Amino acid sequence: MALTVALTLQAQAQTAEHTLRFAHFWPAVSGTHKMVFQVWADKVEKESDGRISVEMYPSSTLAKPPAQYDAVKNGIADITATVQGYTANRFPLTQIVELPGIVQNAAQGSCIVQSLYDEGLVSSEYKETRPLFLFTHG
């Protein structure tokens, strides 16, 4: 019985205080999932000394791509990585970087869209959530 109590206490000590549900549409075998999102999740767990765990939900397991943002807004997921264009007309100010000739590459586009958010020029489109960062792709 003492062993059972000790193992139970040890298991409780190893349990995270907070669990974040990270939902996205990339497959679990994709580079984006394995080399970006999972690496980030592992780093959060390590740097929080295990107080925060991140449960990954790849391949649209919690919400289909057009519903990813709403999944976070409605508490189904805590974190998502999504594409604003999947939710037509919801992020018109942010999507300005998608217009032809506005940006030269993904790095420049990411800097522009993040600056637009940081300066409050597109932040009203995200008032129901707290973006960690915004980026574009090639």
Q: Enter the tokens of residue 65.
A: 């791509």
User: Which tens digits make up the pLDDT trace of 53-108?
Assistant: 999 999 999 999 999 999 999 999 999 998 888 888 899 999 999 899 999 999 99
pTM of the model: 0.81
